[in-house]
């Protein structure tokens, strides 16, 4: 059985924290650490450094600045929303209150699949580092097996409850700092081969054409870096004073995580011995090469252990976000199996069956990746497309609500800057989505060249068919469309607001 459903607020007033079965065991720093380890500067940089460097050369580092500025605007918009609607599940309940049930249903559907694929992408990226740490050959099959083990370990930690999740997030935060700062400083002091000027040297990656298309292709490393801050809001019902704490944690996640990622990338860039070997494909894994050259086998393996902590904590944070989204979905009776998925373990204060789904589906995706020749890039690209897509569904819903009269009244607001920030955040998100889905390999078969967009289309079309055939989107008593003032409402000022679909 679920806890009591939240009642809708009076027009224009902040919605208080709903009756919830979660415990408020997560403090401000643990909430920030959750978003930080989900964003994970080490995971994103170590996973895509070789790919981005081979594609765009050293100037690919500027992708961190591009994506960081855009996503900071999105985080500001999200901060206003979560301050007024501190509900578990993040983008789904926000979209529900800003627009209505159907828009929220599709937003949650896209976000759910994007999270599940992102869990796979993070765990998959850890595979080669696990192989190096334990001394076996990193093959496709061993990588998939390592992915499976990491996912299972992560869900077991999540099952232990919010306190265990908070502890794991804080441990992961320390691991991230060691991996980003300590290792970065060591590389710059002992293994630096280039000056700062290389960040403007393309090393001929553009060929005879413009560098812009090459840079935009390499920018996947920046786009992959800057999401995770929304996880701070996914656990809104487990944080005291969420309207104050969570917007601040989101902003910290962006600028601290972004700075750490940029520094990590810079330290690796200046430590790579031979850029031409990476660009030509002779050195497909420059991160491992740099670490072994700079630290020797023992030191490199020690770093691998720290990196593995980062990958594990990131997977844990992702599963926590996915589990709470699925639970929030089921609590509002918005998905098949909602009676099972909304069941709550009061002993550990976690949604057990929802967490099980957040592990089972990524496992299936991992084993299914055996059919792909470039599984990591495809998985990462689809994950980014899905996350950015659902982010912009919320940003668009917020912009629509503002134009219809919504004025955020939570503990954090942008005031008169809200509308321009919202509009620019939407423009950035549309640009990022187009760039991620853009086909760049005309020499490949059409289905491989368009695989990211095709996968996105499959998720959207399947979601639409599911929504209109099952009508789950019309269920549940949670508020919908209540952000926009409704002068035609006939109920008392403090009564329930009509649902909008």
Write down the pLDDT at residue 8: 39
> Residue holding tokens 């990022």?
432
Q: What are the E-state strand segments in 165-210? A: none
Residue 448 pLDDT > 80, yes or no? Answer: no
Whether residue 231 contacts residue 391, with contact meaning beta carbons closer than 8 Å, is answered with no
Residues 53-62 have a mean pLDDT of: 95
* pLDDT given for residue 70 in this prediction: 95
Dist CA 108 CA 474 (whole Å): 14
Q: Please, what are the domains in the chain?
A: 28-474 (1.20.1740.10)
DSSP 8-state symbol, 18:
P
- Counting every residue, how long is the chain? 501
- Contact between 287 and 264 under an 8 Å Cβ cutoff? The reply is no
Report the pLDDT value the prediction gives residue 125, as an integer from 0 to 100.
82
Q: What is the pLDDT of residue 138?
A: 81
Would you state the pLDDT for residue 190?
93
Q: How far apart are CA 312 and CA 294, in angstroms?
A: 25
- With beta carbons less than 8 A apart as the criterion, state whether 318 and 287 touch: no
| Rounded average pLDDT over 451-462 | 86
CA distance 35 to 16: 22
Tell me what pLDDT residue 78 has.
Answer: 96
Find the range with the poorest average confidence among 102-111, 120-129, 370-379, 406-415.
370-379
CA-to-CA distance for 400 and 99, rounded, in angstroms? Answer: 8
Average pLDDT score over the chain = 84
Q: Which has more pLDDT, 500 or 439?
A: 439
Alpha-carbon span 169 to 37, nearest angstrom: 6
**Residue 488 pLDDT level (bands cut at 50, 70, 90):** very low
> If you write DSSP's letter for every residue of 106-175 in order, what string do you get?
HHHHHHHHHHHHHHHHHHHHHHHHHHHHHT----HHHHHHHHHHHHHHHHHHHHT-HHHHHHHHHHHHHH
- For the beta carbon of residue 6, count every other beta carbon within 10 angstroms: 21
- In the predicted structure, residue 47 carries a pLDDT above the cut 90: no
What pLDDT is stored for residue 377 in this prediction?
Answer: 66
471: pLDDT strictly greater than 90: no
Q: Name 350's bridge partners.
A: 345
Residues whose CB falls within 8 Å of the CB of residue 205, separated by 6 or more in sequence, listed in order = 55, 56, 57, 211, 214, 218, 279
CA distance 63 to 223: 8
CB 98 within 8 A of CB 406: yes
pLDDT band at 373 (very low <50, low <70, confident <90, very high): low
> Does position 5 have pLDDT exceeding 70, yes or no?
no
What Å distances lie between residue 453 and 153, 198, 283, CA to CA?
31, 34, 29
Share of the chain above pLDDT 70, in %: 90
Q: How many helices (H) and strands (E) does the chain have?
A: 20, 0
CA distance 150 to 126: 8
Q: How far apart are CA 442 and CA 448, in angstroms?
A: 9
Determine whether 331 is exposed, middle or buried from the number of CB atoms within 10 Å of its CB (0-12, 13-18, 19+): buried
Q: How confident is the model at residue 44 (pLDDT cuts 50, 70, 90)?
A: confident
Instruction: Give the integer Cα–Cα distance in Å for 219 and 239.
Output: 34
> Does position 66 have pLDDT exceeding 90, yes or no?
yes
Residue 235: closest CA among 166, 148, 143: 166
Percent share of the chain, pLDDT over 90: 39
pLDDT of 370 > 80? The answer is no
What does the pLDDT read at residue 489? 38
Q: Each residue of 210-238: pLDDT tens digit?
A: 999 999 999 989 988 888 888 888 778 88
Q: What is the average per-residue pLDDT within 253-265?
A: 92
pLDDT of residue 451: 77
């Amino acid at each position: 059985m679920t806890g009591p459903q939240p009642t809708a607020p009076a027009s224009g007033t902040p919605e208080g924290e709903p009756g919830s079965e979660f415990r408020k065991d997560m403090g401000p720093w643990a909430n920030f650490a959750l978003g930080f380890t989900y964003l994970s500067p080490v995971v994103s940089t170590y996973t895509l450094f070789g790919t981005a460097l081979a594609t765009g050369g050293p100037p690919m580092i500027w992708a961190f600045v591009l994506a960081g500025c855009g996503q900071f605007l999105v985080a500001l918009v999200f901060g206003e929303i979560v301050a007024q609607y501190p509900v578990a599940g993040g983008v789904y309940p926000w979209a529900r209150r800003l627009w209505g049930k159907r828009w929220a249903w599709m937003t949650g559907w896209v976000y759910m699949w994007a999270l599940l694929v992102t869990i796979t992408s993070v765990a998959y990226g850890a595979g080669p580092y696990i192989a190096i740490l334990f001394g076996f050959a990193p093959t496709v099959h061993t990588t998939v097996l390592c992915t499976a083990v990491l996912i299972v370990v992560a869900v077991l930690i999540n099952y232990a409850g919010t306190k265990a999740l908070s502890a794991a997030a804080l441990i992961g935060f320390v691991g991230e700092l060691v991996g980003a700062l300590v290792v970065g400083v060591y590389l710059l002091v002992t293994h630096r081969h280039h000056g700062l000027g290389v960040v403007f040297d393309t090393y001929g990656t553009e060929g005879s054409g413009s560098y812009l298309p090459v840079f935009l292709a390499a920018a996947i490393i920046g786009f992959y870096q800057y999401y995770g801050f929304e996880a701070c809001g996914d656990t809104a019902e487990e944080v005291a004073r969420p309207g104050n704490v969570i917007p601040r944690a989101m902003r910290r996640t962006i600028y601290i995580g972004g700075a750490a990622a940029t520094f990590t990338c810079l330290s690796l860039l200046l430590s790579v011995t031979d850029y031409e070997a990476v660009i030509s494909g002779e050195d497909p894994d420059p991160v491992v090469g740099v670490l072994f050259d700079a630290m020797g086998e023992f030191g490199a393996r020690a770093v691998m252990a720290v990196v593995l902590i980062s990958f594990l904590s990131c997977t844990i944070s992702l599963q926590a976000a996915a589990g709470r989204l699925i639970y929030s979905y089921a609590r509002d009776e918005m998905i098949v199996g909602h009676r099972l998925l909304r069941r709550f373990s009061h002993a550990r204060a976690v949604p057990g069956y929802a967490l099980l789904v957040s592990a089972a589906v990524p496992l299936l995706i991992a084993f299914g990746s055996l059919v792909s020749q470039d599984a990591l890039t495809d998985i990462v690209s689809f994950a980014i497309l899905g996350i950015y897509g659902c982010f912009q569904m919320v940003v668009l819903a917020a912009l629509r609500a503002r134009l219809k009269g919504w004025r955020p009244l939570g503990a954090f607001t942008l005031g008169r800057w809200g509308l321009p920030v919202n509009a620019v955040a939407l423009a950035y998100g549309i640009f990022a989505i187009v760039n991620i889905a853009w086909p760049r390999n005309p020499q490949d078969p059409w289905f491989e060249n368009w695989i990211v967009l095709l996968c996105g289309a499959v998720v959207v079309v399947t979601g639409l068919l599911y929504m209109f055939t099952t009508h789950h989107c019309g269920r549940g008593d949670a508020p919908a469309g209540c952000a926009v003032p409704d002068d035609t409402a006939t109920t008392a000022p403090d009564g329930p607001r009509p649902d909008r679909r």
